Chain A
Amino acid sequence: MLARLRIRGKLAVLLIAPLVAIVLLTVVVVVDRVGQAGRAADTARTARVAGDVGALIQDLQQERLIAVGYLVQVVGRSRLLLQTAAVTDRVTNLRLDYADDLSPEVAEAIDDVKSLAGLRASLVAGTADVEGVLTQFTAVIGWLIDALRLMDAADATTAEGRQLLALDALLRVDEGNSAGAALMTVMVATRAQRDLARYAANAAAVQPNLDRFTASGTPEQVDLYGLVTAAFASRVGGGFVESVETDPAAAIADLRVATLFPSLESYIALGRFVEKRIVTDVTATMTDLERRQTTTAYGLVAGMLVLLLLVILLSTAIARTVARPLTLLTASAARVAQVAEDELVRVADDESAAPEPVRLERITVGGRDEIGDLARTFERVQRTAAQLVERQVASRRNVAQMFGHVGRRTQNLVGRQLGLIDQLERDETEPDRLRQLYRLDHVASRLRRNASSLVVLSGGTGTNPHLAPLALADAVRLALGEIEEYDRVDVQLTGTIMLAPAVISDLVLMLAELMENATSNSPPHTRVAVTTGESATDVRVSIVDHGIGMPAERLTVENARLERRERIDLAPTEVLGLFVVGRLARRHGLQVSLSDTPGGGVTATVVVGRELLDGSAAPEPQSRETIASVIDIGALTRATHSIDGRQPWNAFAAPRTLAAVASPPAIAAVVAPLDADATAEIPAPLRQPSRQGQALRRRVPGAQLSAGTQAARNAAQFVAAPPDPSSAQALVEAFEDGVRRAQHDGTAPPADQTPPLPPTPPLQPTPQSQSTPVRPATAGRNLSRRVPGATLQDPGAIPRPGLHLVESQSSPDPDSAWNLVEQFESGVLRALRELRSEGSSQ
């Protein structure tokens, strides 16, 4: 039960018992106070009624005295009538003032005053006697006093109760005195013995009440009554009270009714003052008491409410001080958990190179209590967690950078190795050694591919040497040159698809990985086919192998891996190639998918969007030339050579390219000095290949710029006539290709197929230049030519497309010429850059 409550609820449970106790106690006390106040009000009201009824009683007493006086003929009838009217008025006022507030007894007693009507009538008529007057008035007055029931209402233990008793006694004393005054009037008037006795009896009857009053009245009231007694004594003489008991006749001997009556009339009014004093005392005391009790009750209730409010506010505040930090802590913990989750997601998705620092809000919980301690400790936990995550990110980044550095360094080294191998290949003439060198070249290429993969794995990007569009077929060929069992790959490309420069190197790497995957995961006797398909929006390159394939679930997993980002250190190592492919595909927005090949095996499909193709330039003949001038000629050549042994397939299959290159006049001007220069540098046996009948060296050392001195010299020469190693090499390559073709077709060489590459004499002012046009012509079939693929495997069944250099003799147009100039300039820039980089690396 308690466990389910929150902190506020628990506090409420804690507080509810004392609060209820306080409320109950307060209610008890307040009820008591209210009761006391009510009783005080009742007492005050009783006293007030008694006072007002006392006034009526006094009026009746006056009327009785006047009636007696009337009977003894000391006052006129008008006085009697006036007094009767006064009594009637008083009755009416009483009934109206108190309406229904009077007790039934009092109301009845007041109504009984009307029973005096008969007596009054007989008085006026002169038929009444003193006896009747005294009896009836006394009876009515006595009933009125009894009806007030002050004795019953009074609690003698309390001061106000005693006051009510005193009032009751005083009313009776006054009645006794008043009756005594009437009796005295009669007594003095008649001087009859019977009246004397009655007066004495009445005086004796007054005494007990007087004693009661003296006992219960306050000293002031008793003193006040003493004044009344004194007033009586002063009216009838000092020793009257004593002497009237012993000798009434002698005591009243000096009294005359005519003078006595007015003094008695004023005398009986005096008792009323004392009564009024008691009534006002009681009323004031009781009103004061009532006010005090009421104030106390209100104060208690207000105090209790304030206390309740205070407790509620305090408990709310305390609950807040407890619950709020806890809520904050919970929120902080949730944030930390969220950050950790986010971090987990982010490390699985590690392609963003810039790790964000983890930001956690400070927990703003002060306080020195346990919750504050908890908050501070949690703050530490949070900070530590953040540091942990940051450190993890940093360490992962460092490892990736390490990979990247190693990969790039390896790339550099392999690049230089390839250059060296290249140089050796050029210098080597012996076929066996040359074959070994080619194999070494091939291994180095694969090594470089591995280095590139490592760079990709590290998250970095490798260099992209491609500045111009490249045909997809060339890209496939470059890729082929980087895998081991390239000879099992059949490339069946249709159409001419040009790739945008940005994607080339990565696509080559991708294709290489896919082809490597295909070849290594299929039996050696099967073949792997590379085909393309075009649609309006993309180009699909499919690599189809015929191995045992993959189970469907594995296929799903690998496809997912290709699409989804995945951390390298979480991926199984056997699919690193696919990881590389996936990362590159995501980088360029390529779609790569694996599917089953019908009849067994796996088909990997790369979808290259149109936006990655260089669509505008594709069909233009100039673009081929562009490629020739800027692509990594060396790599392409090596790839070509690696494949050539098996498939005599020309990387520069488009014949128009060379035709354009060879076309005058712009290029010829470039070629001429270049060739002249190159020829000059060529060793003697190579310089006159046709005449010496030796194998034609197809490499032009200056084109590779592998030697510093050579490069420097070339550079110096290029100042005069801007040299372009690449284009020069392209020319040389084309030339060599022609030679090779000539050699290859040596068995049945049609004379007209000889490429008319050499320009016309006007363009060859130097003597060396004259040898160049001779070169293709004299490249006889007996020329010893390095055939890289020849030693590797069986020749491919696919017919090698021939070079149709003849077709390239198209008419020159301004656009192509302008393109050539531009390419030339970019080639110069590139050469200069390579010079710089080689110079720095050596």
Chain B
Amino acid sequence: MAQHATRSRSLIAVLLHCLLAFALMAPTTLLFARVWGSVGEQARFAQSERNGIQYLRSLGQLTIALTDAQSAAVAGRPFPRDTITRVVEATASVDARIGGDLRTHERWSGLRAKIEALAALSVVDPATAFSTFGEATDMLLALYKEVRDNSQLTREQDVDASYLQEGAAQQLPEAVVAAGRFMDLAVIAAGRPRNDPAGTAANLLNARDAVTYPANNLAAGLQAAVDGTSSRTLSGNLLSRLDRFRRGMETLTATTVPVDGRTAVNTAALRDVRNEVQTAASELAATILDELDLLISARIEDLDRQRQTAAVTLAVAVLLALVPLTVRLVRPRRRPVANPPVPPAPQPAEDVVPTWRREPTGAR
């Protein structure tokens, strides 16, 4: 009975310990779950951004190749189909890999069909080539936007990363495409009979503004990114590339292309500027995307650290909560103290024994 009571008492104690452990663990686990979920969400977000950056890299190559091809087509030169095919294949493989996550398969399929159709195009007149390629580059810019949106890059919170993604995924491609069109327009204008100098000048001016605007925005944006960053490499890496790109654009817009509609364009100089601008843009895009990737990688590492910290905290909390229970279960159950050796009860004094019951101790 007493043992039963002891057992039930110890059972109640164990239950209380369990309850205490649960009470300690429950809020911790809840907090952990929330932190884990939130951090996981952020990590998925960042991973998606990295996918977007990866996609943007291949699109950057494609943009350069496409504008190059457009210039060649407009100039009546054979354009390098191998390059286009290689870039398209590279982009196709990237799209096959991460296009599902970024939901770009269809857009890419359309764009690819368009580009392949362009590549198969035989020699046409510059204006047709310009407009045909224009459709493709428009689709390309739309794909940029799609990638940027679906990879969550547009929702970037950090100042530097936000400006960088905007520059890399929007302003820089726009500037590159606009610069290509501007130069191609100049080439077309140069090849066309000068019957409408005013109209040509207006077109060229429009095209120039279309170049200047994203380029200036890009410069301002990158400046803001540098102002707002804590990265130690961003400012240094951007400095020369951005300067080169801006100088290229300044050269292009200020001196190389006359916008009066009458002066003939210096085609050789234009080609040099165009190469310079394309190279600078390519470098700048790579640099921006590298820096963006660095920032987001650092963020992912930070998130991983947060996850580890949360996990360790939870583990410690669980251990702390389990310690009393474990101690209780592991500790050898206290046995009831053995009865101390009771001295034998003093024997009844001999004289109490009735004397007549005793054997005679001696013969009388």
B254: A residues at CB distance < 8 A: 258-259, 262
User: Can you report 29 A-B residue pairs in the complex whose CB atoms are below 8 A from each other?
Assistant: A224-B235, A231-B247, A262-B250, A262-B254, A266-B243, A266-B246, A266-B247, A270-B243, A273-B242, A276-B226, A276-B227, A277-B235, A280-B230, A284-B230, A284-B232, A353-B349, A354-B346, A354-B347, A408-B362, A415-B363, A461-B355, A461-B358, A461-B361, A463-B355, A463-B364, A464-B356, A501-B356, A505-B355, A834-B364
The interface bits of chain A over 491-506 (1 if a CB of B lies within 8 angstroms of the residue's CB, else 0) are 0000000000110010
Determine whether A234 belongs to the interface, using a CB cutoff of 8 Å to chain B.
yes
B247 engages A234 (CB within 8 Å): yes
Task: Return the chain B residue nearest A416 by Cβ.
Answer: B363
* CA–CA, A281 and B246, complex, Å: 26
- Of A51, A224, A266, A464, which one neighbours B355 at CB under 8 angstroms? A464
Q: Which of B331-364 contact A (CB under 8 A)?
A: 341, 343-344, 346-347, 349-351, 354-356, 358, 360-364
B362 engages A409 (CB within 8 Å): yes
Closest 10 CB pairs of A and B: A464-B355, A587-B351, A841-B363, A276-B235, A273-B239, A408-B362, A273-B235, A354-B347, A412-B362, A277-B235
A224 engages B346 (CB within 8 Å): no
Task: Return the chain A residue nearest B343 by Cβ.
Answer: A356
A409: B residues at CB distance < 8 A: 362
The interface bits of chain A over 340-356 (1 if a CB of B lies within 8 angstroms of the residue's CB, else 0) are 00000000000111101
Determine whether B236 belongs to the interface, using a CB cutoff of 8 Å to chain A.
yes
B246: A residues at CB distance < 8 A: 266
- Of B227, B232, B343, B362, which one neighbours A281 at CB under 8 angstroms? B232
Determine whether B255 belongs to the interface, using a CB cutoff of 8 Å to chain A.
yes
The interface bits of chain A over 246-262 (1 if a CB of B lies within 8 angstroms of the residue's CB, else 0) are 00000000000011001
Q: Which of A223-263 contact B (CB under 8 A)?
A: 224, 227-228, 231, 234-235, 258-259, 262-263
Q: Which of A43-58 contact B (CB under 8 A)?
A: 51, 55
B243 engages A352 (CB within 8 Å): no
Determine whether A837 belongs to the interface, using a CB cutoff of 8 Å to chain B.
yes
Interface size on B, residues (CB 8 A): 38
B236 engages A220 (CB within 8 Å): yes
A408 engages B361 (CB within 8 Å): yes
* CA–CA, A685 and B229, complex, Å: 156
The interface bits of chain A over 289-332 (1 if a CB of B lies within 8 angstroms of the residue's CB, else 0) are 00000000000000000000000000000000000000000000
The interface bits of chain B over 245-288 (1 if a CB of A lies within 8 angstroms of the residue's CB, else 0) are 01100100011000000000000000000000000000000000
* CA–CA, A409 and B350, complex, Å: 20
A51: B residues at CB distance < 8 A: 227
Which of A224, A258, A266, A462 has the most C-beta atoms of chain B within 10 angstroms of its own C-beta? A266
- Of A224, A502, A587, which one neighbours B354 at CB under 8 angstroms? A502
B347: A residues at CB distance < 8 A: 352-354
- Of A224, A266, A588, A841, which one neighbours B236 at CB under 8 angstroms? A224
- Of B227, B238, B250, which one neighbours A55 at CB under 8 angstroms? B227
Smallest beta-carbon distance A516→chain B, Å: 22
B231: A residues at CB distance < 8 A: 280
A359: B residues at CB distance < 8 A: 341, 343
Interface size on A, residues (CB 8 A): 55
Determine whether B131 belongs to the interface, using a CB cutoff of 8 Å to chain A.
no
Determine whether A460 belongs to the interface, using a CB cutoff of 8 Å to chain B.
yes
Determine whether B240 belongs to the interface, using a CB cutoff of 8 Å to chain A.
yes
A227-B356 contact, Cβ under 8 Å, with A277-B235, A465-B364: no
A273 engages B355 (CB within 8 Å): no
The interface bits of chain A over 803-842 (1 if a CB of B lies within 8 angstroms of the residue's CB, else 0) are 0000000000000000000000000000000100110110
B223 engages A272 (CB within 8 Å): yes
A415: B residues at CB distance < 8 A: 362-364
Which of B230, B232, B364 has the most C-beta atoms of chain A within 10 angstroms of its own C-beta? B364
The interface bits of chain B over 154-197 (1 if a CB of A lies within 8 angstroms of the residue's CB, else 0) are 00000000000000000000000000000000000000000000
A461 engages B240 (CB within 8 Å): no
- Of B239, B356, B361, which one neighbours A224 at CB under 8 angstroms? B239
Determine whether A147 belongs to the interface, using a CB cutoff of 8 Å to chain B.
no
A352: B residues at CB distance < 8 A: 346-347, 349
Query: Which residues of B does A touch, CB under 8 Å?
Result: 219, 223, 226-227, 229-232, 234-236, 238-240, 242-243, 246-247, 250, 254-255, 341, 343-344, 346-347, 349-351, 354-356, 358, 360-364
Smallest beta-carbon distance B347→chain A, Å: 4
B247: A residues at CB distance < 8 A: 231, 234-235, 263, 266
* CA–CA, A466 and B358, complex, Å: 12
Query: Which residues of A does B touch, CB under 8 Å?
Result: 51, 55, 220, 224, 227-228, 231, 234-235, 258-259, 262-263, 266, 269-270, 272-274, 276-277, 280-281, 283-284, 351-354, 356, 359, 408-409, 411-412, 415-416, 460-467, 501-502, 505, 587-588, 834, 837-838, 840-841
* CA–CA, A587 and B223, complex, Å: 119
Smallest beta-carbon distance B242→chain A, Å: 8
A412 engages B235 (CB within 8 Å): no
B349: A residues at CB distance < 8 A: 351-353, 587
Smallest beta-carbon distance A417→chain B, Å: 12
A284: B residues at CB distance < 8 A: 230, 232
B255 engages A259 (CB within 8 Å): yes
B351 engages A467 (CB within 8 Å): no
A273-B362 contact, Cβ under 8 Å, with A280-B229, A352-B346, A353-B349: no
A463: B residues at CB distance < 8 A: 355, 360-362, 364
* CA–CA, A429 and B358, complex, Å: 40
A274 engages B250 (CB within 8 Å): no
A502 engages B219 (CB within 8 Å): no
Smallest beta-carbon distance B237→chain A, Å: 9
- Of A270, A501, A840, which one neighbours B239 at CB under 8 angstroms? A270
A227-B240 contact, Cβ under 8 Å, with A411-B362, A412-B363, A463-B360: yes
Task: Return the chain B residue nearest A410 by Cβ.
Answer: B362
- Known A-B contacts: A280-B230, A463-B361, A467-B356. Give 18 more (CB < 8 A): A224-B239, A227-B240, A259-B255, A263-B247, A266-B219, A266-B247, A273-B238, A273-B242, A276-B226, A276-B235, A283-B230, A359-B343, A461-B361, A464-B356, A464-B358, A501-B356, A502-B356, A841-B363
Task: Return the chain B residue nearest A632 by Cβ.
Answer: B364
A356: B residues at CB distance < 8 A: 343-344, 346
B351: A residues at CB distance < 8 A: 461, 587-588
Task: Return the chain A residue nearest B344 by Cβ.
Answer: A356
Smallest beta-carbon distance B216→chain A, Å: 9
* CA–CA, A354 and B345, complex, Å: 10
B350: A residues at CB distance < 8 A: 353, 460-461
B236 engages A273 (CB within 8 Å): yes
* CA–CA, A311 and B226, complex, Å: 53
Smallest beta-carbon distance A44→chain B, Å: 11
A412: B residues at CB distance < 8 A: 362-364
* CA–CA, A588 and B231, complex, Å: 110
Smallest beta-carbon distance A463→chain B, Å: 5
B235 engages A280 (CB within 8 Å): yes
B234: A residues at CB distance < 8 A: 276, 280
* CA–CA, A220 and B350, complex, Å: 112
B219: A residues at CB distance < 8 A: 266, 269
A280 engages B243 (CB within 8 Å): no
Smallest beta-carbon distance A274→chain B, Å: 7
A841: B residues at CB distance < 8 A: 363
* CA–CA, A462 and B362, complex, Å: 9
A274-B235 contact, Cβ under 8 Å, with A266-B243, A353-B350, A840-B363: yes
* CA–CA, A228 and B351, complex, Å: 125
A460: B residues at CB distance < 8 A: 350, 361
A266: B residues at CB distance < 8 A: 219, 243, 246-247, 250
B358: A residues at CB distance < 8 A: 461, 464
* CA–CA, A115 and B47, complex, Å: 49
Smallest beta-carbon distance A361→chain B, Å: 9
* CA–CA, A359 and B254, complex, Å: 116
Task: Return the chain A residue nearest B253 by Cβ.
Answer: A262
A462-B361 contact, Cβ under 8 Å, with A280-B229, A354-B346: yes
